[in-house]
Chain A
């Protein structure tokens, strides 16, 4: 069993805007591309050109259909990755101490040198956020791009997770959710951001901004300029051009 830190200095996480995510999968492959060459072992692909291709992805986007009464059916695109929980069961279940939560920023990581690939953490995670790399036999997960966000070899503006940097619609935001004044906290406040399944009690850090209400606009109906059948086109023209 592995212990969680008594307290964390910061709570870094993602805020994902479901009103804006078009489901383009850009974050999925940007994540794959960065982490394939970044923290830990590469993200392998099995049978990449065959009948059942299957590889390790730390971030996946699913699309759900929503049917609501008295409204048109909707599609919600839902990006899913590790939520960096405060009470991360994937950490406490780890028999070797490989899974841990960083005290300085709350990021949940796997120390791959200590990982024996037992997979208990994946069973423990209620969000299905961990993936065993089938080639390396170690557990992989979102690192919040820990090798980008503090990386002084990158320009300062690039020190954010690869998924955030690449998101074409700007639907992904990164920051310190423990600081109520941070841009992400203010966004959560303004847009009613919510945690995913908080009732499970793992204290997920990431927040989702709900889709805004959809439907008809507020404009009132247009008023006809004249009673066209009565006035004919000439009356309409007189009235219209009189406005010039």
Chain B
């Protein structure tokens, strides 16, 4: 028999175009292959700094996203009742004029009546600038319901954060410990890094109630009780202090540990003792006398006790050496035996100190002291939503930074490394701007970092200036706003009513809201003949659940049809060794035959801005300043010479600073759609204190002057809020918030029980969590024909104790209730799970009729959301209004505080569909279609049975 002759070198495609993925927020580089002008194949770009050629399940399925039938095709105006799905298609001119007719009067009379909130977009430096020019204080992106605790906890402590704003030194770390990390940020880089550690046998430990994904491959697993990570971390701190296994030199030089805490009763108590120049100072060990904190050659005394004012280090030691943090005291609460906690502390110490090494790379610090080597500490950490989506998440994030600081590993070789524009201290960030003047822009950006009560966004009567109550006494450090509270607050008229709600890419009528069923009612609630929220404008590329609830739809393009700018001005693609940014460009044209078509939202926003005559968006003669977003990306300057993109500026060779270059986008395209500015070798570590790094950052335009700073173990901004709560200062919190501010705003990282724990007393003893699968990005994945075959339904996973204890059997359903809701859902057993925790995949459940899925799709019949159990408000407390279900420091949505109880549904009563179930959404006008395939043969129906085995859930 002869083998058939094969063509082993078939051409792959006609053309490859390189752009940036957007199947999640990870921003990997992709090669998009085109055949006959159509996308034929997508793979990772090997030269790209984020993914280095690899691509995740979502990225490789992008071809099914640009052909998804759920794509919108034309602007839509609501013609029936809100929520009915009755729309008519209108032209872009009609749509934009309608939007202008709603917005223009607001700008001229009461700009705060426009609330503009964006979801998972990556253009916040544009959208924020637009909202600032409009003059409304009501702008934020989705960080408040995502992971602001992680961002703010980091900024207030180390001037940088986990998320994707740094990463372990993958090449040198010997021990990597994850807290609450699932498939969140950042996706492929974390997988690449774990793969590197695995390849060389470095140790990986996961602290997580659920042992899937990264936790599944971890060498050891700590099945922690949700919400107690902070307690575990501070117990590790206790063990390390007890054994003296801390980096004293690092603490003395690079942190505020030697600073003196004012002990005098009064309005300065707990702030740093300051000298005549208002500078905090240290005690020099050589002289025993005060010395400048940034003085050359000074040897700060960690143990200082000067005129009764003790050092931060003394406060810290006293606090954490206390018996409350002993492993034996926290073990039951954390669900981890005391010897296991001590063993983990020993592993950390062993990695940091017994495996320490020095990199022979001389450098000079900001004090002018020269160091011949860089001290390596090969232990690193990562943490994400598992710790941040709790009402104690901010302090838990701070606690973890405290731990890595005590080990001396932040910004050290082998430790956690920040990526430009970080490190960046609180002092280098703006404060919030919120004062409205009709017809005028805001005086500065909305979002910022509060230093004390004076920076709160309050109206003269003391009420919140913002619709989401960000930067109020309820959540003073809400650096990302509280998107999850916008609709409930607007509906309640608390703090005031708005007129137009303008949303981009945020599925607030479904998986992005707590208490989803009631949010849908709020969106359609009427007062007399008018809607309580009078107007809703929404931009999305797809027929999501939110589309039905808008009055005007501005259809966006898919990610392969658009320009985008992944900018140093907001969320770039830097690496520890390089600043980096990237673009998207239309590798295929947006094609919606027979309709008015779609436009990239950012171009639409600029068009809208020009029609409104917003400052910065029109020329002196009133004509639009920017042709479209691509034009803005190239020609906009935020400061002279500094624009959205750092690469190929000026004559094409300038980096960071330089005049706009009309060829810039073409140069990005030729370079694979990204640019990198490399950090000099001597600047690569100890960046907050490294003079070479500081100088490089100034040259690149990250700062205007060097910004060296010390890590904040003791937080003065937090202490200022405690002082206010204690009655000091002219700006005073309402009485009902005093106790909570005193607790949550402790200047040292502390642990307190998550607010959700209070539900246990009402019989809701079980923790309920969600996590995002690696093959889905929130609600987007289900419209993708490939991805939904991997995960088209979700189950609630129950631990052995509950499964056996309540007599569950395979195929069972459970009624799951919380203090505010009830769902009936399919369940399954999972052993590798904290014994008091249940969980499910996030956002697999869909509303019937959404996302162009058939109404009987499993996502819409048996799929479910946990959101129905989660109230956006905490239970009523005596003596005060109801508060949002959020972290008291930042306003981060406390999704994972949730407590439930379960009841087995008898086998005879198993339902066919999960509950609650909602009326089917009518189909909105959309592109339809789907991918065209040509087949050489047709199947005889008899052969259908021969399909290979498959596992539609892909789940444990």
Give the interface of A toward B (CB within 8 A). 2-3, 17, 19-26, 28-30, 32-34, 36-38, 41-42, 44-45, 47-51, 53-55, 57, 60-65, 67, 72-77, 97, 100, 102-103, 111-114, 117-119, 122-123, 128-138, 146-147, 150-154, 157-158, 162, 165-171, 211-212, 214-217, 219-225, 228, 233, 236-237, 239-241, 243-244
Q: List 6 A-B contacts (CB under 8 A).
A: A20-B195, A29-B775, A53-B785, A97-B1, A131-B947, A222-B345
Determine the chain A residues whose CB is within 8 A of the CB of B346 once the complex forms.
Answer: 217, 219-222
Taking a contact as CB atoms under 8 Å apart, the answer to whether A72 and B832 are in contact is yes
Chain B residue at minimum C-beta to C-beta distance from A20: B198
Taking a contact as CB atoms under 8 Å apart, the answer to whether A119 and B61 are in contact is no
Q: Taking the nearest CB of chain B, how far is it from the CB of A134, in angstroms?
A: 5
Closest 8 CB pairs of A and B: A169-B195, A48-B785, A119-B946, A168-B191, A73-B831, A131-B948, A222-B243, A25-B57
Instruction: Say whether B360 faces chain A, with CB atoms less than 8 Å apart.
Output: no
Q: Taking the nearest CB of chain B, how far is it from the CB of A8, in angstroms?
A: 12
Q: Taking the nearest CB of chain A, how far is it from the CB of B553, in angstroms?
A: 21
* A222-B950 in contact given A102-B3, A217-B203 (Cβ < 8 Å): no
Taking a contact as CB atoms under 8 Å apart, the answer to whether A30 and B43 are in contact is yes
Taking a contact as CB atoms under 8 Å apart, the answer to whether A67 and B831 are in contact is yes
* A19-B217 in contact given A75-B956, A220-B346 (Cβ < 8 Å): yes
Taking a contact as CB atoms under 8 Å apart, the answer to whether A22 and B217 are in contact is yes
B928-956 interface (Cβ within 8 A of A) = 930, 933-940, 943-944, 946-951, 954-956
Instruction: Say whether B686 faces chain A, with CB atoms less than 8 Å apart.
Output: no
Q: Contact check: which of A2, A102, A216 meets B343 at CB < 8 Å?
A: A216
Determine the chain B residues whose CB is within 8 A of the CB of A122 once the complex forms.
Answer: 946, 948
14 other contacts beyond A26-B59, A153-B10, with CB at 8 A cut-off?
A: A24-B57, A55-B785, A60-B951, A60-B954, A75-B216, A134-B939, A135-B939, A137-B943, A138-B936, A217-B219, A217-B346, A222-B242, A241-B303, A243-B248
CA distance in complex: A152, B211 (Å): 43
Taking a contact as CB atoms under 8 Å apart, the answer to whether A37 and B248 are in contact is no
Taking a contact as CB atoms under 8 Å apart, the answer to whether B946 and A22 are in contact is no
Taking a contact as CB atoms under 8 Å apart, the answer to whether A55 and B789 are in contact is yes
Determine the chain A residues whose CB is within 8 A of the CB of B303 once the complex forms.
Answer: 237, 241
Indicate the member of A20, A24, A233, A239 with the most B CB atoms within 10 Å.
Answer: A24
CA distance in complex: A131, B6 (Å): 21
CA distance in complex: A225, B340 (Å): 20
Determine the chain B residues whose CB is within 8 A of the CB of A112 once the complex forms.
Answer: 936
Chain A residue at minimum C-beta to C-beta distance from B242: A224
CA distance in complex: A130, B933 (Å): 21
* A17-B198 in contact given A50-B856, A131-B948, A137-B940 (Cβ < 8 Å): yes
* A24-B213 in contact given A38-B10, A212-B219, A241-B302 (Cβ < 8 Å): yes
Taking a contact as CB atoms under 8 Å apart, the answer to whether A37 and B216 are in contact is no
Chain A residue at minimum C-beta to C-beta distance from B340: A216
* A74-B220 in contact given A168-B56, A168-B191, A237-B317 (Cβ < 8 Å): no
Taking a contact as CB atoms under 8 Å apart, the answer to whether A22 and B60 are in contact is no
Determine the chain B residues whose CB is within 8 A of the CB of A170 once the complex forms.
Answer: 192, 195-196, 198-199
Instruction: Say whether B321 faces chain A, with CB atoms less than 8 Å apart.
Output: yes
Q: Contact check: which of B211, B787, B948 meets A128 at CB < 8 Å?
A: B948
Determine the chain A residues whose CB is within 8 A of the CB of B243 once the complex forms.
Answer: 222-225
Determine the chain A residues whose CB is within 8 A of the CB of B951 once the complex forms.
Answer: 60, 62
Determine the chain A residues whose CB is within 8 A of the CB of B787 once the complex forms.
Answer: 29
Chain B residue at minimum C-beta to C-beta distance from A35: B41
Q: Contact check: which of B51, B59, B214, B956 meets A22 at CB < 8 Å?
A: B214
C-beta contact mask, B151-164 vs A, less than 8 Å → 1, else 0?
00000000000000
Task: Count chain B residues whose beta carbon lies closer than 8 angstroms to a beta carbon of A.
Answer: 118
Indicate the member of B244, B285, B774 with the most A CB atoms within 10 Å.
Answer: B244
Q: Contact check: which of A37, A168, A217 meets B347 at CB < 8 Å?
A: A217
Instruction: Say whether B869 faces chain A, with CB atoms less than 8 Å apart.
Output: no
Chain A residue at minimum C-beta to C-beta distance from B852: A49
B851-881 interface (Cβ within 8 A of A) = 852-854, 856-858, 861
CA distance in complex: A25, B191 (Å): 12
C-beta contact mask, B200-224 vs A, less than 8 Å → 1, else 0?
0101000000011111111111010
C-beta contact mask, B821-839 vs A, less than 8 Å → 1, else 0?
0000000001111000000
Instruction: Say whether B810 faces chain A, with CB atoms less than 8 Å apart.
Output: no
Taking a contact as CB atoms under 8 Å apart, the answer to whether A72 and B221 are in contact is yes
C-beta contact mask, B331-364 vs A, less than 8 Å → 1, else 0?
0000000001011011101100000000000000
Indicate the member of A55, A65, A215 with the most B CB atoms within 10 Å.
Answer: A65
Chain B residue at minimum C-beta to C-beta distance from A67: B831
Q: Contact check: which of B203, B830, B861, B944 meets A65 at CB < 8 Å?
A: B830
B18-54 interface (Cβ within 8 A of A) = 35, 40-44, 46, 51, 53-54
* A49-B853 in contact given A228-B242, A243-B248 (Cβ < 8 Å): yes
Taking a contact as CB atoms under 8 Å apart, the answer to whether A73 and B211 are in contact is yes
Taking a contact as CB atoms under 8 Å apart, the answer to whether A19 and B198 are in contact is yes
Determine the chain B residues whose CB is within 8 A of the CB of A36 once the complex forms.
Answer: 41
Give the interface of B toward A (CB within 8 A). 1, 3-4, 6-12, 35, 40-44, 46, 51, 53-61, 63, 69, 183, 188, 191-192, 194-196, 198-199, 201, 203, 211-221, 223, 239-240, 242-245, 248-249, 252, 285, 301-303, 314, 317-318, 321, 340, 342-343, 345-347, 349-350, 774-775, 783, 785-790, 792, 830-833, 852-854, 856-858, 861, 930, 933-940, 943-944, 946-951, 954-956
CA distance in complex: A160, B946 (Å): 30
* A244-B248 in contact given A2-B1, A42-B935 (Cβ < 8 Å): yes
Q: Contact check: which of B57, B349, B940, B956 meets A29 at CB < 8 Å?
A: B57
* A151-B12 in contact given A37-B35, A42-B933, A170-B199 (Cβ < 8 Å): yes
Determine the chain A residues whose CB is within 8 A of the CB of B40 once the complex forms.
Answer: 37
Q: Taking the nearest CB of chain A, how far is it from the CB of B920, in angstroms?
A: 14
Taking a contact as CB atoms under 8 Å apart, the answer to whether B245 and A222 are in contact is yes
* A117-B242 in contact given A42-B933, A74-B211 (Cβ < 8 Å): no
Determine the chain B residues whose CB is within 8 A of the CB of A49 once the complex forms.
Answer: 69, 783, 785, 852-854, 857, 930
Taking a contact as CB atoms under 8 Å apart, the answer to whether B9 and A150 are in contact is yes
Taking a contact as CB atoms under 8 Å apart, the answer to whether B790 and A28 are in contact is yes
Determine the chain A residues whose CB is within 8 A of the CB of B934 once the complex forms.
Answer: 42
Chain A residue at minimum C-beta to C-beta distance from B55: A166
Determine the chain A residues whose CB is within 8 A of the CB of B43 once the complex forms.
Answer: 30, 33-34, 162, 165-166
Taking a contact as CB atoms under 8 Å apart, the answer to whether A45 and B789 are in contact is yes
* A103-B3 in contact given A41-B935, A42-B935, A53-B789 (Cβ < 8 Å): yes
Determine the chain A residues whose CB is within 8 A of the CB of B949 once the complex forms.
Answer: 128
Determine the chain A residues whose CB is within 8 A of the CB of B63 once the complex forms.
Answer: 33
Indicate the member of B940, B947, B954 with the most A CB atoms within 10 Å.
Answer: B947
Taking a contact as CB atoms under 8 Å apart, the answer to whether B10 and A147 are in contact is yes
Determine the chain A residues whose CB is within 8 A of the CB of B946 once the complex forms.
Answer: 119, 122-123, 132
CA distance in complex: A236, B90 (Å): 75
Q: Contact check: which of A2, A44, A212 meets B935 at CB < 8 Å?
A: A44
Chain A residue at minimum C-beta to C-beta distance from B33: A37
CA distance in complex: A152, B8 (Å): 8
Taking a contact as CB atoms under 8 Å apart, the answer to whether A32 and B345 are in contact is no
Q: Taking the nearest CB of chain A, how far is it from the CB of B482, in angstroms?
A: 32
Q: Taking the nearest CB of chain B, how far is it from the CB of A31, in angstroms?
A: 9
Taking a contact as CB atoms under 8 Å apart, the answer to whether B244 and A225 are in contact is yes
Taking a contact as CB atoms under 8 Å apart, the answer to whether A153 and B191 are in contact is no
CA distance in complex: A224, B852 (Å): 63
Chain B residue at minimum C-beta to C-beta distance from A211: B217
Determine the chain B residues whose CB is within 8 A of the CB of A21 once the complex forms.
Answer: 217
CA distance in complex: A215, B194 (Å): 17
Q: Taking the nearest CB of chain A, how far is it from the CB of B184, in angstroms?
A: 13
Determine the chain A residues whose CB is within 8 A of the CB of B199 once the complex forms.
Answer: 20, 170
Taking a contact as CB atoms under 8 Å apart, the answer to whether A113 and B4 are in contact is yes
Q: Taking the nearest CB of chain A, how far is it from the CB of B794, in angstroms?
A: 14
CA distance in complex: A49, B946 (Å): 22
Q: Contact check: which of A33, A67, A138, A241 meets B937 at CB < 8 Å?
A: A138
Q: Contact check: which of B216, B345, B789, B861 meets A54 at CB < 8 Å?
A: B789
Taking a contact as CB atoms under 8 Å apart, the answer to whether A75 and B854 are in contact is no
